Structure 1
Amino acid sequence: MARRVVAVVLVVLTAVLACAAVPALYLRSEVLDTDRYVATVAPLASDPAIQAEIANKVTTQITDAADIEGITRAAMVELGTVAPRAAAVITGLAPAIAEQTKSLIHTAVSKFVASPQFQDLWIQVNRVAHQGLVNLATGNTGGTVSIDQSGTVTISTKEIIARVKTLLVEQGVGIASRIPEVDAQITLLQSPELARAAAAISTLDRTAPILAWMTVLSALGAIAVAPRGWRRRTTSRVGLGIAVAMALLALGLAIGLDIFLGTIPSASVSPAAAQTLVDTLLTPLRSGIRFVFVVALLMALAAFLSGHSRPAEYVRQGLARTGDYLTGKVGGGQAKPWQHWLARFRRILEAAIVGVAVLVLILWQYPTAAVAIWTAVLAGLAILLIELLCRPAVAAGHAAEPVTGGTPAEPNPTRPLP
């Protein structure tokens, strides 16, 4: 009884640890793997919401730095001194001309952020700016991307403004030559919750490997401490527990994301841009949750089907009868020598297939739920093929088994077939 209680406690502990290990491993891989981070944020360069956000803010920074309105007003006043009678009319045109100039600059900026050159620049900037995500996890400051105490994440637009200035000058916009060198910042995210979470993020980053190993050891401990006859059941419960934990984690992530986006002031970042940025950054985490969920369900299903419960026995009997039917249709008569050999070593071959499938999932750098499903499907088909090919030899071996008591034994419908 005590071993069963301990096994149940370890199953629950495994599920809790998995809830912490998956986000921690996501954070660690995204923070420390620059190539992975750049691959994640690269599509944002072609996202309309991000392009519009950058175009609007860069245009504002350029017009403010160059003082377009002041330059236009001064030019109109000077022109008015040349033609005093039209001075009032000319001066009144200053706001309209300033707005037209701003519109021209905005058009140039929008054209640039939609060009392949901006996509290349975006990748370069984010590769350098990757240190900002490290700052977020470690609490350090500085870098091209940084976070302050109010939870504001900013990115430098110096290179973007310089490229736009060159583009405007080449188009003959003389006023663009007056744009000074600007090392401005634009806000990507702004939320107090981000600053409050810095300590928790730093802790998860440091403890990610520990949490992962603790999850594995807790799962193995639950299976090992379970009484004989309960280990398959415990294995199935471990898988179900982790799957439930991943479902709850996905639900909590969705709720938390809504709350987090609600804390971002729309005046600093447009809701569409914030939604796009956060969704993109969380894509690997969602993929990781789905992957663990699928693997856990497959683990629970495999343990269940290999157990001694009546539903599992019925499934195995159905597969055995299907195998007998198929092998009888394909070819009857005596089992061939290679089928006897296959029947003799089928358990070793099936264990090797399972081992290869596990190695694929372990060695795959960033496996997804689709990878897990296809790996399980291919492994299952390979095992099923072995069982079908060696079925005549297995059936012949059972028919040749000696029967005690001198009379044939009645078939037991509940006895699991091999």
Structure 2
Amino acid sequence: MNDTSPTTSRSTSRLRAVISALMIIVALILAPVASVGTWARVQLVDTDQFVATFAPLADDPAVQTFVADQITDQINEQVDFKQIIGDVFAGIAEANLPPRAATAIASLEAPAVAGIQSLVASTTQRIVASDQFAELWEESLRVSHKQITALLKDQPGTALQVSNDGTLSLELGPLIDAVKQRLVERGLSFADKIPVKDRSIAIVHADSLGLARVSYQIAVIGGYWLPWLALGLLIGGILVANRKRRAVVISSIFFAIIFGLMTMGVWIGGNIFVFSVSPNPLPSSVAHAIFDQVTAMMDSTLRALTFLGVLVAVVAWFAGPSRPATATRSVLGSGFASLRGALDRAGGDTRGFGRFLDKNRNVILIVAIALGMAALFASRPVTFTAITWLVIALIVVAIAVEVLRRPEGESESVGTEKESQPPTVDPANESSRASESTDSGKADLYDDSDVAVLSRNADTEAEGTVDGEPADK
């Protein structure tokens, strides 16, 4: 039975290593998918977040200029201003004006056409830059949100439309109608002749929306639960591992690498997107603005998760047996021990509670990290601010545990330190006491007869003899 015990132990160890590796690998594979699914869920499923993402585009100068130019071009295509002004001047010419007056009026026909076109362009630009356009944009976003998420439905009459082939476009009908009403208010009755047709601007083509479709399906299926599954597999794989600290370091390094590569992928994808849609149908400035606005949350989340992976790997490495880690822990341990001793001498001994913290220190720190990570993922998307607060909270907990814990025997050693120290002695007093004790000792050793004998011997030595014998003998 004893012969098979080592074999069984090795088999169990190998099984644990295999299970741990599989769980960590699956977790690392699911992590990027979960992050994209969470982003898709927040951006596409949540109406308020969807509006908050796209609404600021209405205030972007590049987008405003692009939309205003498109509206102006649509109006110029639908309304023949040259024909309208020509009819007006032809009517004037039929009034039998003098030749010089007729010639002068005819010369004003071309400037009148240009002036009307300029008036339409400036009016359109002011409308697009006004709060009215921003409100219309936001309202249209809310109305068409279901279309964006489904990518199949068609709801005419809204500013944003998604066709059956997956092309996201901006409907110009409501905006053209707003320009038309403004021109009529300014006394330009010909504006009533501007037809309001279903004209649109293609913002993103179907090829560019492929990732959005996949992301939406992921969001619907597992945008909420997939991150928890990945986190559970990662924690479970670390707990099953034979060398837990090493598993934490390795998995954190790969975690940081994966999300670092995804961050680079977003940047590369942005350049590809801009290149694919510029200059037609979108100028590069507008394409950049749209892509940056849509992916801003994902980009910040990926950067934050990359930083989180690096942070966990560094902390786990410093918890290991390396020389820098050991030296750092030694210095911090001595500092906290001195601090605890000072607190105990000042009456701050935590006694039983401190001994409880000392016995369960590792468990408390692990629970704090687990709760912090759970709170971090629950408050998705993960941001630098959230990670910073998590790090600060964990540092505060670790410092509090180190200050309040009381290892066995530490309090007793501090309490008996004063008793074991020798009394303080003043060197000057000690010297005087030593001389007094010497003199008194001499007085006790010799009586009066002994003093007389010592005195006679001293005199004999002075004459060169000792007890009657020559000194050289």
- TM-score, normalised to structure 1, is 0.82
Q: Give how far 1:216 is off.
A: 2.6
Q: Give how far 1:386 is off.
A: 3.1
1:20 to 21, 28, 33: 33
Aligned to 2:46: 33
Query: Structure 2: where are the runs of 5+ without partners?
Result: 1-13, 415-473
In the alignment, residue 260 of structure 2 is paired with which amino acid? A
* Count of residue correspondences: 392
1:98 to 87, 101, 113: 113
Aligned to 1:56: 69
Say if 2:154 is the partner of 1:142. yes
Q: For 2:214 and 2:231, how far apart are their aligned partners in 1?
A: 22
Q: Is the 8 A contact 1:58 1:157 kept in 2?
A: yes
Q: Give how far 1:15 is off.
A: 2.4
Percent sequence identity is 25
In the alignment, residue 207 of structure 2 is paired with which amino acid? E
What are the superposed Cα offsets for residues 380-400 of structure 1, whole Å, 9 maximum, x if unpaired? 123213312446x66715959
Q: For 2:98 and 2:18, how far apart are their aligned partners in 1?
A: 97
Aligned to 1:388: 403
Q: For 2:119 and 2:392, how far apart are their aligned partners in 1?
A: 57
Larger radius of gyration: 2
Q: Is the 8 A contact 2:357 2:401 kept in 1?
A: no
Change in CA separation of 1:13 and 1:342 when aligned onto 2, cut-off 3 Å: same
Change in CA separation of 1:342 and 1:84 when aligned onto 2, cut-off 3 Å: farther
Q: Give how far 1:302 is off.
A: 3.9
Q: Give how far 1:327 is off.
A: 4.8
What are the superposed Cα offsets for residues 104-127 of structure 1, whole Å, 9 maximum, x if unpaired? 111112112222222222211111
Aligned to 2:307: 294
Say if 2:330 is the partner of 1:317. yes
Q: For 2:284 and 2:389, how far apart are their aligned partners in 1?
A: 37
Q: Residue 154 of structure 2 aligns to a residue in which SS?
A: coil
Aligned to 2:191: 176
Q: For 2:127 and 2:41, how far apart are their aligned partners in 1?
A: 34
Q: For 1:354 and 1:309, how far apart are their aligned partners in 2?
A: 23
1:330-341 map, 5 Å: 331=343, 333=345, 336-338=348-350, 340-341=352-353
Change in CA separation of 1:395 and 1:72 when aligned onto 2, cut-off 3 Å: farther
Change in CA separation of 1:378 and 1:201 when aligned onto 2, cut-off 3 Å: closer
Say if 2:356 is the partner of 1:344. yes
Q: Residue 256 of structure 1 aligns to a residue in which SS?
A: helix
Aligned to 2:292: 279
Q: For 2:52 and 2:351, how far apart are their aligned partners in 1?
A: 49
1:80-99 map, 5 Å: 80-82=93-95, 83=97, 85=99, 90-91=105-106, 93-99=108-114
Q: Is the 8 A contact 1:189 1:274 kept in 2?
A: no
Change in CA separation of 1:176 and 1:366 when aligned onto 2, cut-off 3 Å: same
Q: For 1:161 and 1:79, how far apart are their aligned partners in 2?
A: 30
What are the superposed Cα offsets for residues 118-138 of structure 1, whole Å, 9 maximum, x if unpaired? 2222211111122232133xx
Aligned to 2:140: 125
Q: For 1:76 and 1:398, how far apart are their aligned partners in 2?
A: 110
Q: Is the 8 A contact 1:55 1:109 kept in 2?
A: yes
Query: Structure 1: where are the runs of 5+ without partners?
Result: 401-418
Aligned to 1:231: 244
Q: Is the 8 A contact 1:80 1:88 kept in 2?
A: no
Q: For 2:84 and 2:210, how far apart are their aligned partners in 1?
A: 44
Q: Give how far 1:17 is off.
A: 2.0
Say if 2:208 is the partner of 1:194. yes
Let me know the Cα RMSD of the aligned residues. Answer: 3.1
What are the superposed Cα offsets for residues 119-170 of structure 1, whole Å, 9 maximum, x if unpaired? 222211111122232133xxx1413433447664212233222222222222
- TM-score, normalised to structure 2, is 0.73
Q: Is the 8 A contact 2:44 2:216 kept in 1?
A: no
What are the superposed Cα offsets for residues 307-364 of structure 1, whole Å, 9 maximum, x if unpaired? 4444433332221122234456x65627634355234235365456445533432432
Q: For 1:151 and 1:310, how far apart are their aligned partners in 2?
A: 58
Change in CA separation of 1:278 and 1:199 when aligned onto 2, cut-off 3 Å: closer
Q: For 1:272 and 1:162, how far apart are their aligned partners in 2?
A: 27
Q: Is the 8 A contact 1:135 1:142 kept in 2?
A: no
Q: Residue 196 of structure 2 aligns to a residue in which SS?
A: coil
Q: Give how far 1:372 is off.
A: 1.4
* Higher-RCO chain (CA-CA 8 Å, sequence separation at least 6): 1
Q: Give how far 1:225 is off.
A: 3.8
Q: For 1:231 and 1:352, how far apart are their aligned partners in 2?
A: 15
